[in-house]
Amino acid sequence: MSRIEFDGVVVRAVTPGGPVPEITVVQETTLDLTEQRIALIGPNGSGKSTLARLVNGLVEPTTGQVLVEGLDVAKKGREVRRRVGFVFTDPTAQLVMPTVIEDIALSLRHQVRGREERAAAARNVLASYGLEELAERSVHTLSGGQRQLLAIAGVLATDPAVLVADEPTTLLDLRNSRKIGDLLLGLSQQLVLATHDLDLALRCDRALLVDQGAVVADGSPAEVVAHYRRTAG
Amino acid sequence: MGFSPIGEYRPGTSVLHRLPVGTKLLGLVVLSILAVAFRGVPTTSALLGLAVIGCVVGGVPVRRAARSLRGMLVAMVFLAAYQTWQRGPERAYVVVGALVALLLLATVFTTTTQVERMIDAITRWLEPFRRFGVRPELVALAFSLMIRGIPLTLEIAAETRDAARARGLDRNPRAYLTPLVIRVVAHARATGDALHARGIGDD
């Protein structure tokens, strides 16, 4: 299992024109994440997404460091991103090629050099997620659930060691939300899941409650979710 | 739901599907030059004939062909009216007919050419410029993002227009254009994040 370490991480953001020149998005945080499925829960704007983005290098700490398998995300971003996949809330931005198979093939460009071999590999990836029928479809004609499933397939095609998912079920209906949730929780990869779905969080191995940029509760999902329900007002 | 005014790839085995990307693109460029250099009724008629043959051979459905013209319909009507008024109906046919033919030929190109093949071709063509600092993979990716961006931008535009209508602001251009620009820029930033997260551009 991979290991993700936050060592005295602080994230500050400049707020031009705001009442204060700078705000603290993540307060000093030290974490050692070794469990397979880790849930990040908390209210909107609490800093869950920023914590998730730190793991992949989409956000860099103002001070402190984030290590993935011992690699400093700020210094070894390229190597880290090969190990850490990221799934966004809205898959529309994540799907950058016109058709389903081309988007999967884009993910495989580094692993499979030949075009024909890459197309075959992409079809295999699609088949393993039940998406083979959609191979030639334009990505903008897919439903929300299909888009999110494709986005996940595109990320997992590169076989990352860690998958970070930032509220991946927020835009989905109940059926698709369950389907994506089951898929993510059944992965062999280490999963960092920022979510508002407390049922999903309860099925993880560890949960962190984030509020106002700080981890205010950390432990078993049952305890942390219960704490969140008590304190959410 | 958005659509691409220049069409999208449709799998097939026609001769146009099998032609190399460079040959098709070169053909399109040559025909465009011919349309301007030898402007006249015979050229426009020949181009229209070629475009129809291209649509049939490439398996471009009639609806898709019509859709590719729809986006330019208003401009073409104005152009035809202006040309008829200024220089007569024959000139209007020559100008607008050539425009229709080239739009259809561009649709044939995108319908019969996978974007991945275009990316490979562009990457190959730009390879000699790598020594001057050009990164062919990134140029090719930008090209594919542009193609993907067309239907997405139209989708955002339709949603923004509907939102303005729902608030009774359909006659206020600011209520339409401001959120449209903000959403397109936000989408561009989100796409940048997604590319970064997928490690594209790291190499």
CB nearest to B114's CB, from A81, A90, A102: A102
Indicate if ipTM > 0.90.
no
Burial A153-177 (b: 16+ CB within 10 A, else e): bbbbbbebbbbbbbbbbebbeeebb
Extract the tokens encoding B152: 């997405």
Of the CA atoms within 13 Å of residue B17, those in its CB half-sphere come to: 13
**B89-112 helix and B21-37 helix, angle to the nearest 10 degrees:** 170
Handedness of CA B1, B4, B5, B10 (dihedral sign): negative
Segment-wise mean pLDDT, segments of 10 residues, chain B, 203 residues: 60 91 93 94 96 94 85 88 94 96 93 82 88 84 79 83 80 84 88 81 63
**Whether the Cβ atoms of residue A56 and residue B197 lie closer than 8 Å to each other:** yes
The confidence score (pLDDT) of residue A95 equals 86
- DSSP string covering B132-164: GT--HHHHHHHHHHHHHHHHHHHHHHHHHHHHH
A139 touches chain B (CB under 8 A): yes
Cα A48 → chain centroid: 11
Q: What residue of A is the nearest CA neighbor of B143?
A: A97
A113 touches chain B (CB under 8 A): no
Q: Taking an 8 Å Cβ-Cβ cutoff, which residues of chain B contact chain A?
A: 1-2, 4, 8-11, 114-117, 120, 141, 144-145, 147-148, 151-152, 155, 187, 190-191, 193-200, 202-203
The confidence score (pLDDT) of residue A120 equals 92
Segment-wise mean pLDDT, segments of 10 residues, chain A, 233 residues: 93 81 92 96 94 93 96 91 90 84 87 85 93 87 91 92 94 91 94 96 97 96 96 81
Domains of chain A: 4-231 (3.40.50.300)
The confidence score (pLDDT) of residue A5 equals 97
Closest Cα of chain A to B145: distance in Å? 6
For chain B, what are the domain ranges?
15-113, 131-197
The confidence score (pLDDT) of residue B3 equals 52
The confidence score (pLDDT) of residue B4 equals 56
Residues of chain B with Cβ-Cβ distance to A50 below 8 Å are none
The confidence score (pLDDT) of residue B203 equals 59
**Whether the Cβ atoms of residue B8 and residue B111 lie closer than 8 Å to each other:** yes
A231 touches chain B (CB under 8 A): no
Q: Which amino acid is at A13?
A: A
Q: Which amino acid is at B155?
A: E
Cα B178 → chain centroid: 25
Extract the tokens encoding A56: 């992949």
CB nearest to B9's CB, from A88, A94, A98: A98
